[in-house]
Chain A
Amino acid sequence: MQVKEIPAEGITYDQLKIEKIPLSDEYIERDPSLVPAANRAVVINPCRTCMPLGAMFATLGVHKAIPFVQGAQGCTTYVRYTFCRIFKEPAAIANASFHEDTAVFGGWKNFIQGIRNLVVRYWPELIGVVTTCASEIIGDDMVSYIKAAKKKLAEELGEEKAAAVKIVLISTPSFAGSHVVGYDRAARAFVETLAVEKTAPNNKVNIIPGMLNPGDIREIKHLLKVMGIDSIILFDIADVFDTPLRPPATIPYYPKGGTPVADIADMANSLGTVALCPHEGGLGARYLERKFGLRAVVGPPPVGVRHTDMFLQNLSELTGRPVPEELLDERGRLLDFMADTFHHTMMKKVAVFGDPDIVVGVTRFVCELGMEPVAVLSGTPSKTFPQEIENIVREYNFAPQVFNGSDLFEFEEYLKKTRVDLILGNSKGVDIARELEVPLVRVGLFVYDRVGYQKRPVVGYRGGEFLLADIVNSLLDYKYPDDRTQQL
């Protein structure tokens, strides 16, 4: 049987059937002067959300901690819904339930009452107070509110019980940045509030992982264990957003995991801090460096061979431990996998979008696979992102279009006019991939339309293997007839 050759050029846009949410059946050429996000006031299909989500994510990564959102109910409900959809896990987040009277009189009453109501039901060990656009605009003085709330708790429940509940303030006015910034600020707020004193050295390494998935955190823990390094992971969401089904006999339900409060206090005594994602946790690492002189290693996210090498190198330098044989084997296995599959990946054109750090990591990895990034988008605007991408692509002689803080509308319009074989990004890219008829490899935080992605790593050598398998299988599923895939 003669197998028909697959067109090497891919499918150009004019050959595609256009099928989307559209206002009309036909593709309409958009006003080119308004396509770049920088030229317009309106944002279309944003690729970032607002600060409080990052702060809530971080707070949930602390053992027996509940975020308390000083804002309207939607700020909490939407975020709980988002976490539930991504991780398929419950997420308890309390809210100050702002109503019209709050907008007039301020959120004092709501806060004091709310903290008390939360404590008598859940007895959390820590409450992360997350502010919102509303509370910041009406000018709630959260520092004095927290003092008053603590006093009220002590009066009602006694000093001892009140003192057992730590309260951390994370100031996150929604209009001042994206969820990435929210996590960054939370990292700093937690170490600033809890790690106040340097006592005896603990020989541990602090890791601030950023907004990675539970599978990634487990992989980081695996690498540290093989290296023989003790660590404190702030915010350890591994056993919060990926927990066993073992019905508890009592309420309330708390996941087993999360960084213990005592460990965060102990972070001042560590050897140094590694922030895997510069935009998500860099502030925390730099704060510890300034305050306690702990060496801060900020980035790069350990996705792909070189970045994981650098991560292990940094750990090695911090602790004086060599990289063991076992990890060299893991590295070798990834390289072997890359050799087995490069004929599928070489010279394929890819587009990457998402949060800045994961995009930098993935861009490095696809370059290592011989793929050519043609468009790279960070939803969150960043001062360093274009330079970080530039450093990678210069090494491989590519020149992708870099979108810094742009939206998915511009990204889509750009991709319609250029050839691309594969898109890497989160579930918000489904519509684009479907319209362009190219595969989407799901990577990053907001993956909610498929299952299991939160359990699997993309970091480390083993994570690289998972990601590579995904990339190659997606290409095969899309472009190869069945009888050819049998002959691999």
Chain B
Amino acid sequence: MRYPAENGCQAARVCTKAGRAMRLPACGSPTVPGVITSRACPYYGARWLLAPVKETLHLVHGPVGCAYYGQTVRRKSYRILSTALDEKDVVFGGDTKLVRAVREALRLFPDARAVFVYGCCVAGLTGADLAGICRLATRATGRTVVPVSCAGFGGASQGDGHDLAADVLVRFLVGRTSPAAPASYTVNLLGEFDVAGDLQEIKMLLNQLGVSVLCTFTGEASVTSLGYAHAAALNLVHCQRTGGSLAEAMTKAFGTPALKVNFFGFAATAASLRAVAAHFGREEAAEQIIRAAETRVEPVLAELRRHLAGRRVGLYFGGSRVGSMAAAYRELGMEVVWAGAQFGQQEDYAAAWPDVADGGVLLDDARQFEIEKFLCQAQPDLFVGGVRERFLAYKYGVPFTVFPQEGKPYAGFTGFINFAQDIWRAVASPVWRLVHSQ
């Protein structure tokens, strides 16, 4: 597929898989203006990671809009506070307003144990001394006030916000309290956000292994659980993009080893369980769980595979899911003909590479134009992406499943059935036949 040239475009952002030589799209570079990208800003990325942290307040230092949008993360609504900067504040500086806001917030919500202060574009441009103010506020209030300098122009995509948020978690909250006992059979889950019950599914599997989860970054995190998270024996990285830098930082600070896992897909879940089991010497238990799951899940999957085999699918994820999810579609017998991410990394594309069909396309930071071209000309049997791509796909009469998903867990063995069933529901809906019957 060929696309029009771009002014000042980075090279080889799009590549076609042909033959065995691995060619990966160039990634990490900033988006060219005017191309209708799906990428967002560091503030978006920071909210993505920090919003679920409990026992905290979230104060957005910027115009009211940033707070209004940031209130909803992964379709969940959270309490949000804002300094709602106006013209006066922009001219004379909003620092005093920020100090007042932190104080008032803690008076209104006295049992908050920490405050995240997000510095938006305005704070970045007017040169607000976020770190200094937060230091003073910490001293004055006795509560941890965490500066998150996530100005919208401060990075290429929301990925930079993820890194930033991971950094402040480790610097300000992780390891602040010491647990009562050393926790030998415990793990932390990094980059898991408990979308639609995913976490429950993963926890159940780990519990069957005899391993318990201390803290989940950040699907089930609080100031308390972050405080003793460093006691875990192992860090499991579920999403590389959001969990990877966190794992690195924790290894450096506390010496916690990290293990990459993936609970999407049957084979991936089994492999992850085996890896975790090997670390804790529980191999036998793992084999038992996997055997039991096989007898339970396989008949259902066989039926779904019959329906889905050979169908062509296009994937467009946020970050590293493109690497971990492509295999799950292949497991269902589907053909991945187009795989992209908004802000992927080389290793994500390398992981996706074996599962992309020959002649398929890999691309980073797809423009809406490229998505439209794919939908219109290739007419795939399924397209997978976020809400912004969803209604575009429908306009071209292409079935769609949204990710992060709605409603049911996709992780684990049972989750994989949900995952496959949702695909079958999307593909089998009579509406597509009616659309194309004219």
Q: Which residues of A contact B (CB under 8 A)?
A: 21, 23-24, 28, 30-31, 34, 40-46, 48-53, 68, 71-75, 77-82, 84-85, 88-100, 102-103, 110-111, 113-118, 120-122, 132-134, 137-138, 173-176, 178-179, 243, 245-253, 428, 430-431
Contacts and interface: CB of A to CB of B under 8 A. Distances in A.
A401 to B, nearest CB: 20
B63 A44 contact: no
A253 B395 contact: yes
A329 B68 CA distance: 42
Contacts of A100: 153-155
Given A84-B388, A89-B391, A116-B7, A74 B40 contact: yes
B107 A31 contact: yes
Contacts of B391: 84, 88-90
Interface string B100-130: 1110110111111000000011101110000
Interface stretch (B26-34, B261-269, B277-285, B344-352): B26-34
A246 B431 CA distance: 12
A253 B372 contact: yes
A175 B7 contact: no
Given A41-B101, A99-B154, 10 more contacts: A43-B82, A77-B388, A78-B44, A84-B388, A94-B36, A98-B121, A117-B7, A137-B90, A249-B376, A253-B396
Given A71-B152, A95-B34, A41 B104 contact: yes
B435 interface: yes
A175 B121 contact: no
A103 B124 contact: yes
B40 A77 contact: yes
Nearest to A175: B63
Contacts of A82: 69
Closest 10 CB pairs of A and B: A50-B65, A72-B152, A114-B34, A74-B41, A114-B33, A117-B34, A78-B69, A77-B40, A42-B101, A49-B68
Contacts of A117: 6-7, 32-35
Given A41-B104, A118-B34, A253-B372, A245 B395 contact: yes
Interface in B351-400: 367-369, 372-373, 376, 387-388, 390-392, 394-397
B62 interface: yes
Interface string B52-95: 00110001001111111111000001111111111101100000
A35 to B, nearest CB: 8
Given A133-B122, A248-B396, A252-B369, A113 B64 contact: no
Which of A40, A71, A77, A132 has the most C-beta atoms of chain B within 10 angstroms of its own C-beta?
A: A77
A175 B67 CA distance: 12
Nearest to A122: B369
A356 B90 CA distance: 25
B38 interface: yes
Contacts of A134: 121-122, 125, 152-153
Given A46-B67, A50-B68, A40 B8 contact: no
Nearest to B96: A41
A110 B84 contact: no
B141 interface: no
17 contacts: A40-B100, A46-B84, A72-B41, A72-B121, A77-B38, A77-B44, A95-B34, A96-B34, A97-B32, A100-B153, A114-B34, A117-B34, A117-B35, A121-B367, A245-B435, A253-B372, A428-B77
Nearest to B397: A247
B125 A138 contact: yes
Contacts of B390: 84
Contacts of A249: 376
A49 B152 contact: no
A34 B107 contact: yes
Contacts of B392: 90, 253
A92 to B, nearest CB: 6
B108 A44 contact: yes
A245 B6 contact: no
A117 B367 CA distance: 11
Contacts of A85: 387
B97 interface: yes
B4 interface: yes
A250 B44 contact: no
B372 A74 contact: no
A253 B79 CA distance: 37
Given A34-B104, A72-B41, A99 B64 contact: no
Contacts of B87: 173, 175-176
Contacts of B100: 40-42
A195 B68 CA distance: 34
B111 A23 contact: yes
A103 B125 contact: yes
Contact of B64 (A50, A98, A248): A50
Contacts of B31: 73, 97
A354 to B, nearest CB: 13
B37 interface: yes
B77 A28 contact: no
A175 B122 contact: yes
A91 B87 CA distance: 30
B37 A21 contact: no
Interface in B11-57: 30-44, 54-55
A391 to B, nearest CB: 28
